[in-house]
Amino acid sequence: MLLLQNGSIIDIALHCCDYGTVRDLNPLQVFVAVARTRNYSAAAKELGVPKSTASRAIARLEADLGVQLLFRTTRQVAPSPAGLELYDRLSPLLESLEGALGDIPEREEQPSGTLRVTAPVDLGVVFLAEAVARYTLRYPNVNVELSLTGRVVDLVKEGFDVAVRVGMRLADSTLRVRKVGAVVRKLYASPVYLARNGTPRSEDDFPEHDWVVFRPGPGRLQVKTSGRELRGRITCDDLFFARSAALAGGGLAFLPDLVAEGDVAAGTLVRVMPKYERTAGYLHLVTPATKHVPRKVSAFQQLVLEQFAARAPVS
């Protein structure tokens, strides 16, 4: 008999079996289902496995314990005395564990809680606003806190779940970086400007035109083409100002497609020299390098990937 002076079969069972999560097909989980239903077929159906899998799990458990837990007849299954003791002790434990795991928000099928996201201002306005709205509609149990800033946020120190950033290459051993896609700079101008100054057909025409130049960092950024440097008549360090100046007819402007595509669709900006473009960087999703990615984070990443891929190309 396996009953010990200072323990019982439940203690031995928990030591003998590699008990993972309730979601795993564990022999103890199979045993409880068979003992409760008194039927291998019913238990297998409940667990979503073949009857043979359930039978092998019980055989493994009995072999590990060295005791018969179930008496089998042609019509039914009945627990042995040792099996009854194991079932009586184990059943409420499994039920309690199942409930505890179900109460953990990140273990739910639907994401929940508060998602904290940081991104540059321009990217937040032209791309993330729609993504966040769709995310909250799709997952009603999640709230989103969005911080739009030009500085590089320390995700771990400041408690953010996701950063959306644009760069050629992002590398940090403490972060997990996922590339979404390329952000391309294209040449745009307003219909008013083109009507007044004509449309350039090649780089040779560039010196004859006014330019709106976006300068993201220190120093004077110049448009370089064919070995020549073209100084912008309007130079700024704000992408939205550059866009607005181009919309107002201030000159030609190299703008990221994410920023300008809505204006092109509305007819307020025109793509000039469609084959002329340069990669400005890549859109990245950046998260802390934790062992397990929370469901609310992975769901947001997937939605951003979907939205970026679904963007209609605008010429």
Of the two residues 24 and 147, the one the predictor is more confident about is 147
Instruction: Kindly report the number of other CB atoms within 10 A of residue 300's CB atom.
Output: 26
Phi/psi-derived region of residue 48, left when phi > 0, alpha when psi is between -120 and 50, beta in every other case: left
pLDDT category of residue 170 using cuts at 50, 70 and 90: low
Tell me if 1 is assigned to some domain. Answer: no
Q: What is the pLDDT of residue 118?
A: 94
Q: Identify whether residues 144 and 79 lie together within a single domain.
A: no
List the structure tokens of 4.
Answer: 């010990």
Could you tell me if residue 151 is inside a domain? yes
Asked if residue 125 is part of any domain, the answer here is yes
84, 103, 122: which is the final residue of a domain? 103
Examine residue 30 and state whether it is found in any structural domain, yes or no. yes
- Is residue 238 scored above 60 in pLDDT? yes
Specify the pairing of strand 175-189 against strand 223-225.
Answer: unpaired
Q: Does residue 3 fall inside a structural domain?
A: no
Could you tell me the two tokens for 295?
């469901």
Tell which wins on pLDDT, 4 or 201. 201
Instruction: Provide the residue range defining the domain that includes 121.
Output: 111-315
Q: Which of 81, 103, 125 is the last residue of a domain?
A: 103
Average confidence score pLDDT of the chain: 80
Is residue 153 domain-shared with residue 66, that is, in the same domain? no
Q: 150 and 183: one domain?
A: yes
Are 258 and 296 contained in the same domain? yes
- Name the strand (E) or helix (H) holding 15: helix 9-16
- The CATH code of the domain that includes 14 is 1.10.10.10
- pLDDT score, position 192: 95
* 256-306 confidence digits (pLDDT tens): 888 898 899 999 999 999 888 888 788 899 998 877 788 999 999 999 988
The answer to whether position 88 is within a domain reads: yes
Q: Which of 70, 103, 136 is the last residue of a domain?
A: 103
Residues 143 and 234 in one domain: yes
Is the per-residue pLDDT at 26 higher than 90?
Answer: no
CATH of the domain at 201: 3.40.190.290
pLDDT at 107 over 90: no
Residue 309: partners with Cβ closer than 8 Å, 6 or more residues away: 181
Domain-located, residue 92: yes
* Burial class, 8, CB count within 10 angstroms (exposed 0-12 / middle 13-18 / buried 19+): middle
Considering Cα of 235, then 238, then 243, then 247, what sign does the dihedral take? negative
141 and 289 in a common domain: yes
Same-domain pairing of 18 and 153: no
pTM given for the model: 0.59
Interval 108-130: pLDDT, tens: 468 889 999 999 888 888 889 98
Query: Are 11 and 65 within 8 A, CB to CB?
Result: no
| 25 lies in the same domain as 157 | no
Per-residue confidence (pLDDT) for residue 164, from 0 to 100: 92
CA–CA distance, 128 with 102 (Å, rounded to integer): 31
Q: With cut-offs at 50, 70 and 90, classify the pLDDT of residue 230.
A: low
Looking at the structure, do residues 60 and 165 belong to the same domain, yes or no?
Answer: no
Taking a C-beta distance cutoff of 8 angstroms, is the pair 283, 128 a contact? no
Domain identity same for 164 and 252: yes
Residues 130 and 38 in one domain: no
Sign of CA dihedral 75, 80, 85, 90: negative
CB atoms within 10 A of CB 164: 23
pLDDT digit string, tens, across residues 46-94: 777 788 888 888 888 888 888 888 888 767 788 888 888 888 888 777 7
In this prediction, residues 240-266 reach a mean pLDDT of 91
Number of structural domains (the chain) is 2
- Give yes or no: residues 130 and 171 share one domain: yes
4 belongs to a structural domain: no
